[in-house]
Chain A
Amino acid sequence: MSARKAILQVKGLQTSFFTDDGVIPAVDNIDFSVHEGEVLGIVGESGCGKSVTSLSIMGLVPSPPGKITGGEILFGDKDLTKLSDKEMRKVRGNDVAMIFQEPMTSLNPLFTIGNQLMEAILIHKKDWSKKKARERAIEMLKLVGLPRSEELMKDYPHQLSGGMRQRVMIAMALVCDPKVLIADEPTTALDVTIQAQILALMKDLNERLNTAVLLITHDLGVVAETCERVVVMYAGQIVEEGPVPIIFKDPQHPYTKGLLQSVPDMRFKKQRLYSIPGNVPKPGSISKGCRFAARCEFAFDKCLTENPDLYQTSSVHKTRCFLYQNQEVLAHDRTLIES
């Protein structure tokens, strides 16, 4: 299905926070890859580690108390976890760029839009003249659908609305033609009509510029609408991964199933919402067994004592649940798939 090349590979990533209450692994041994030009979603509830994953890729985990304690993040042949701060700065914004949830706080209120856009360009393109950078900045503002882009260069962030600010953030992120754009809850702070505009813009740019997008969200609707593949996270682990049409039609992991059933659907009225009992476990509180076992209606003895692996249940589908252990594609077949 996806014959496209993986451009960003996360292998066995573990990011921990060293707190007074001990070491808390917020992200615990996760593997996934972003393919060229695709839109990959990471979905999960608060505290599942989705944001820490994106910050780890960008090398932005606040340290201390956070630290990448294991695994590697491969961009091409570079391991991003091994780079020095100076080398990382060259990657950040140039190869991999990021947009954040809060368009209100991610722009500097003291500088004009033009100033901030040109700064991003001039840091990475040392040989460019200011004039050239300015032209590029205006071109980017036009690309993200902002009207009167020349005047906008002189405006300050407070003069723009939330939706416009998020467009500026996208323009800034794409100004150096990154291969991967990480979008961490890019529309959560926006109203639904504005969210629709921004999602349409991101999809359009993904197609036109062939920039791969890693979209982090808690909203399954946003995933269904924009992503090709999705990774479902729970308590710091990946619990399911696969193409969006398959995951939404035939979810395997009980958590994914529960999550999909608990969303109220606007198209018809459900008599009663399904709800997953209990709460998300506190990070670090899980000792052994499957992390979802305490809330799972299918849990059996083994679930409480052993942690299931992420089983490859078809060529494109992976699930971390003992119920699907026997459906695992044989090791022989798997090597065929990977080659």
Chain B
Amino acid sequence: MTEPLLKVEGLKKYFPIRKGLLSRVSGHVKAVDDVSFYVNKGETLGIVGESGCGKSTTGRMLMRLLEPSEGKVFFDGKELTSISSDDMRKARREIQMVFQDPYASLNPRHTIEKILEEPLIVHGIGNPKERKKKVRDFLEIVGLSSYHAKRYPHQFSGGQRQRIGIARALMTNPKLIIADEPVSALDVSIQAQVLNLMQDLQKELNLTYIFIAHDLGVVRHISDRVGVMYLGKMVEVAVSEKLYDKPLHPYTQALLSAVPVPDPNFVRDQILIKGDIPSPSNPPSGCTFHTRCPFKMDVCTKIVPKLVEVEPGHSVACHLYGEQAQQ
């Protein structure tokens, strides 16, 4: 076993709800509630879940773009959660992020050259000549041309902009890339191009990815291991083949069966789960999924199930499995 590159322990983010004249805190939105996981060097961890499950909040907390309410993040043996914001800025050289919206994440008033050069300036890498050369090199690496450097973001299509976003993330030679819904704004044919690019870059540059997305097909394609989140909690983590072929958590089962498959002859038992996702400001007691779960038991409404490894490389937080471990 290789040492994990990133390790997360008991990560929490509670957003206060303020009410009244004195804006007293009347409650909390538990966006992320006690999440732990790790990512090994060179692998891709996919994080899936529906809107509001806390997957993006988790990604932002890893980079401390949002301060965690509780919990620890270890990167390459260093604890990131306790260091000063100055040191954190330096640490971000090795952790970079790719965002969802290629239209909103590039400054429209800067040329591509300026956008790509900026991370190098921030981290004091190279002299102007070297930096310009690196910008051109990386444009080629992500499949654009060096003459694109003088253009502005509006002159590019969505797919090209996402390539620029990826190039920007790569400029500082990071070890870990957190990609938050990097292809969900793109059409399928362009999505395939960007996914292939990300896989090629991973091999060439020995990158580690955390890939956050809601599209289960995309996540399976790119991930070695996958974590499923529901209402701020990690409900199941497994090697991707295991998770997709033999999902254990009832939520994962329902989620997988709900995805439309592009094959009209494909027959399956669709599990239609009833109702909507409860509000994270007032999550159900016990297991947060019990309000929609077809296998609900008495214990589910009272005790929060822990994420337990039920077989090597497959963990699940559900009372149906590993009761022994609960005691």
Contacts and interface: CB of A to CB of B under 8 A. Distances in A.
Interface of A: 45-46, 161, 163-164, 191-197, 199-200, 218-226, 244-245, 248-249, 258-260, 262-267, 269-270, 272-277, 279-280
Contacts of B254: 193
Contacts of A274: 192
Best-surrounded residue of A193, A196, A226, A258 (most CB of chain B within 10 A)? A193
B174 to A, nearest CB: 24
A259 B221 CA distance: 16
Contact of B187 (A45, A223, A269): A45
B264 A224 contact: yes
Interface in B42-76: 50-51
A244 B262 CA distance: 10
Given A260-B262, A262-B188, A263-B188, A192 B276 contact: no
B244 A267 contact: yes
Q: Would you list the 6 A-B pairs with minimal beta carbon distance, nearest first?
A: A221-B260, A275-B192, A262-B192, A196-B258, A264-B221, A191-B50
A289 B71 CA distance: 60
Nearest to A279: B157
Given A196-B257, A269-B241, 13 more contacts: A191-B51, A196-B260, A197-B274, A220-B262, A224-B261, A225-B261, A259-B188, A259-B189, A262-B188, A263-B192, A269-B240, A272-B199, A279-B159
Contacts of A195: 258, 260
16 contacts: A161-B276, A192-B258, A193-B254, A194-B276, A196-B257, A196-B260, A197-B272, A222-B260, A248-B265, A264-B192, A264-B195, A265-B220, A266-B256, A269-B220, A273-B196, A273-B221
Contacts, number: 125
A196 B272 contact: yes
B141 interface: no
Nearest to B262: A220
Interface stretch (B120-128, B211-219, B317-325): B211-219
B312 to A, nearest CB: 20
Interface in B85-136: none
Given A266-B220, A269-B240, A248 B189 contact: no
Dominant secondary structure at the B interface? helix
A259 B262 CA distance: 11
A225 B215 CA distance: 17
Given A191-B51, A264-B217, A275 B264 contact: no
A224 B189 contact: no
Contacts of B241: 269
A86 to B, nearest CB: 39
Contact of A224 (B258, B260, B276, B277): B260
Nearest to B51: A191
A265 B256 CA distance: 12
A218 B260 CA distance: 12
Contact of A192 (B196, B199, B216): B216
B299 interface: no
Given A264-B218, A267-B244, A269-B220, A221 B189 contact: no
A225 B277 CA distance: 24
Nearest to B199: A272
Contact of B276 (A163, A199, A273): A163
B281 interface: no
B190 interface: yes
B244 A263 contact: no
Best-surrounded residue of A196, A199, A248, A260 (most CB of chain B within 10 A)? A196
Contacts of B214: 191-192
B13 to A, nearest CB: 21
Contacts of B264: 224-225, 244-245, 248
B18 to A, nearest CB: 20
Contacts of B265: 245, 248-249
